[in-house]
Chain A
């Protein structure tokens, strides 16, 4: 029997007693469309339910079925939930990639594999666990057409047994995943998990170091994808008009949003919707509808990714110049062009900050977590309506499409801020208004909504030159006054956008700056730099553009400041160059990663250590 070979083979590294507990990564290599997502989610959830901090990263191809896909689960007793570069525990289910996957492992890693792949012949410094999946799946799944899907649940059982994952937690996670309506399917899959577990218990001898132990670090937390968090933010921001065009990786924002809106925003008395979701013909139309709806007074948003942002450039300029609110979510993926549509990047920062022709500047918010996806969507709507301008929210594929362990979301404490809108009563009192006059000194004029029943309510909105009264004008002074007011308005935003997170280490001469999902790698890297190189660092995580005064203060108090970018050209750093003083710019160093995978701490640590001369 093959398993005897496993335990007795002299090529296996000897069994070790130095356990590694709750600190490893599991990678499952399968084929796209084989239903492995459920098996992986169950595994991740079971760890979460055992109180162990976890993260899951789905590395998938731009394809519906047939191409290789990898899912990585990281368990970290330290609470690190960024990507871990090294794989400690591989589940090799895909014949196409198995050999290469095994070759990439560090010595001492464990490999669960489909027995016929004979991976134990590839290397001798790994712990191999062959499993006859086809033989095991038959008895638990009599229906042949389901076997391809159920087969994957077997590795869940094997992994649970080898790592010591509580089977009751596996069971809870599995039944939660299927839900009460699919109890029969859940039972079928549960039998497969058990079959895997029983096989491993009876036939495999554990020789690797990795194992789990119950902790209490996930109590009260939730698991959610960033895209669903953005959707919830929209619901609680009171969004009323949504227009979109499907594009990976943003489509699930609107799909989740539609589900939540149907559940929570149907008027109970009338059965009618307090929202409209419109699938547009393209991104030109989706942003056009958002601009039109916002102009008419709705809270309107769209979600897209890089190629959609490119198409929205012209309307964004109109929104900026005619001063119409809009909320645009960009779940960034790898560009340029079609690029790597299922890989992650923060590569649209520079182009979006000044999107469209002429002089334009647009605020961008950078959520880094599901909680911030939620709270920043609410901020985005308030900012867009207050400042009467398009506001961008920049997530990325890593945040948007992966499951994250998160604190629960806080219910908004502030009422919805609809900005400076005059009603018919206001017009009676004022006797009229000048649409583009800076009455309050913050550059923001008062607007009226179409349909306001007042003879003095109307004004004419145009993307062509206009004066304070919204009249057509090609005059030099009108144009310049308008542009200066718009610039002033942008300055006024600095005190209204979310301020950065700052952690100053009084001993540090070195600072690190990043935005969005880079935080996970950077926060872990700070510990690595401290523990491995004795380098103390301060840290600033940007939450918004325009930058706030904290940025300059942070740079000034450090000798060298590393700006971490997930793009080739150091876009975040380049954007700072446009705004900062030369002596501040001189302190900036660039750390860049642009391979399309979520940024990992090792990459950041290695780059900073090298530049620091270690």
Chain B
């Protein structure tokens, strides 16, 4: 028997190794931004110590929508219908209020075919993390523009987009999402902080991740390429997510740091970069996005957060236990109830 000491594998606060958070092998292109997002999800759920089987994954159709198979293999997943993941997720999350929903969609899936379900999901504030892996093109059908493509951006074929883009973050802020962020698949640190804040958030988190398509939209003239994002990406702040269990006192220079208290006592720490940005101010968020668009910048970071609005399950006044598994005694009224109704109808 070997006596070589094997270093103990790192486990999280619930005693699971990172392997418990991984999914199947990706079938997306090498270098695809979506794979980075999947990796961040694995890391964040591991580091936050979330039970993987308490998560339910949803997606529509497209490259992005394949990715729920590539993270959290111990969580149930549902790759549904093009543009319709919001309704499937809403149904499931109402049926079992204890599930933590993670939906991965794309720009075509959300902003083109799925814009109807997207905006109504926003209004309902269904508690889940809704990630848009945004690359401005349809990948699986080989490179047509989606509704988030910027005016003037150019396809590989030379076709120029002349229609204005739908800004999913602007929609999300306007219509009721309670945590709205934009990030870049290449910004590991920022995306991690945003995802962790979203995991802690009790409401709908919409995260628009610019996630370049290396095959169809990473060329000169694209506004969703790695190089474009490196040049035009503009972080609003430096983000730190501090879990509730970690009570770290840090010296804070006045005016340099903002803190947002998340549900359950976790904190989001925003360090000023250039300007002071208050993410709880809706109007301010809308103005910042409009200004950035005018200047040709892509603002990243937590654009908006509201921890006070009740989520959909609260509005429905549901019992504490999941509807899905209520026993017969709770869901079938007694014989006397039917007798009473019959009497009234005589």
Contact = CB atoms under 8 A, between A and B. Distances in A.
Contacts of A411: 335, 338-339
B79 A460 contact: yes
A457 to B, nearest CB: 6
B252 interface: no
B256 to A, nearest CB: 42
Given A288-B88, A298-B324, A462 B79 contact: yes
A314 B56 CA distance: 22
A465 B76 CA distance: 17
A457 B94 contact: no
A35 B68 CA distance: 56
A289 B77 contact: no
B262 to A, nearest CB: 23
A201 B76 CA distance: 74
Contacts of B339: 411
B96 interface: yes
B316 A276 contact: yes
B346 interface: yes
Nearest to A374: B338
Contact of A295 (B52, B78, B341): B78
Contacts of B79: 460-464
Interface residues of A, number: 72
A282 to B, nearest CB: 7
B99 A274 contact: no
Interface string B67-97: 0110001111111110010111111111110
A236 B76 contact: no
A286 B94 CA distance: 13
Contact of A448 (B76, B92, B345): B76
Given A236-B338, A291-B88, A461-B79, A272 B317 contact: yes
A224 B342 CA distance: 9
Contacts of B324: 240, 293, 296-298, 449, 451
Interface string A263-290: 0110100111111101011101111111
Interface in B260-317: 316-317
A21 to B, nearest CB: 24
Nearest to B69: A460
B92 A458 contact: no
A314 B81 contact: yes
B165 interface: no
A178 interface: no
A409 B346 CA distance: 12
B60 to A, nearest CB: 10
Interface in A404-438: 408-409, 411-412, 415-416
Contacts of A296: 56, 91-93, 95-96, 99, 322, 324
A239 B339 CA distance: 19
A275 B94 CA distance: 9
A542 B182 CA distance: 57
Contacts of A275: 323, 331
A460 B326 contact: no
A468 B133 CA distance: 30
Contacts of A15: none
Nearest to B85: A288
A477 to B, nearest CB: 20
Nearest to B98: A451
Contact of B328 (A238, A286, A450): A238
A235 B333 CA distance: 8
B325 interface: yes
A318 B58 CA distance: 14
A297 B338 CA distance: 25
B74 A409 contact: no
B345 A292 contact: no
B19 to A, nearest CB: 11
Contact of A449 (B96, B120, B337, B345): B96
Contacts of A315: 81, 84
Contacts of A180: none
Contact of B94 (A293, A314, A460): A293
A109 B79 CA distance: 64
Contacts, number: 223
Interface string B84-119: 101111111111101100000000000000001100
B88 A453 contact: no
Nearest to B54: A451
Given A221-B346, A267-B330, A450 B56 contact: yes
**Which of B58, B73, B326 has the largest number of chain A CB atoms within 10 A?**
B326
Interface residues on B, range: 35 or more
Given A450-B56, A453-B51, A292 B76 contact: no
Interface string A441-455: 000000011111111
Contacts of B75: 450, 458
Contacts of B338: 232, 236, 409, 411
B120 to A, nearest CB: 4
A238 B325 CA distance: 11
A266 B86 CA distance: 27
Interface in A200-254: 220-224, 232, 235-241, 243
A293 B69 contact: no
A278 B326 CA distance: 19
A461 B88 CA distance: 12
A462 B59 CA distance: 10
Contact of A288 (B84, B93, B325): B84
Contacts of B56: 296, 450-451
Q: Which of B69, B316, B339 has the most CB of A within 10 A?
A: B316
Contacts of B322: 296-297, 451
A472 B87 contact: no
A223 B53 contact: no
Contacts of B88: 288-289, 291-292, 295
A342 B93 CA distance: 36
B319 interface: yes
B318 interface: yes
A235 B331 CA distance: 8
Nearest to A232: B341
A416 B117 contact: no
A60 interface: no
Contact of A455 (B20, B86, B317, B320): B20
B331 A274 contact: yes
A394 to B, nearest CB: 23
A472 B86 CA distance: 22
B81 A461 contact: no
Nearest 8 A-B pairs (CB), nearest first? A288-B87, A292-B91, A297-B324, A238-B331, A289-B91, A450-B76, A298-B95, A293-B91
13 contacts: A223-B345, A243-B87, A243-B91, A274-B323, A281-B116, A281-B117, A284-B87, A292-B87, A297-B95, A298-B91, A408-B345, A411-B338, A463-B79
Interface of B: 20, 51-54, 56, 58, 68-69, 73-81, 84, 86-96, 98-99, 116-117, 120, 316-320, 322-326, 328, 330-333, 335, 337-339, 341-342, 345-346
Given A415-B328, A450-B53, A451-B96, 10 more contacts: A220-B346, A264-B333, A281-B120, A284-B117, A288-B117, A296-B92, A409-B338, A453-B54, A460-B69, A463-B80
Interface of A: 220-224, 232, 235-241, 243, 260, 264-265, 267, 270-276, 278, 280-282, 284-300, 314-315, 318, 408-409, 411-412, 415-416, 448-455, 457-464, 472
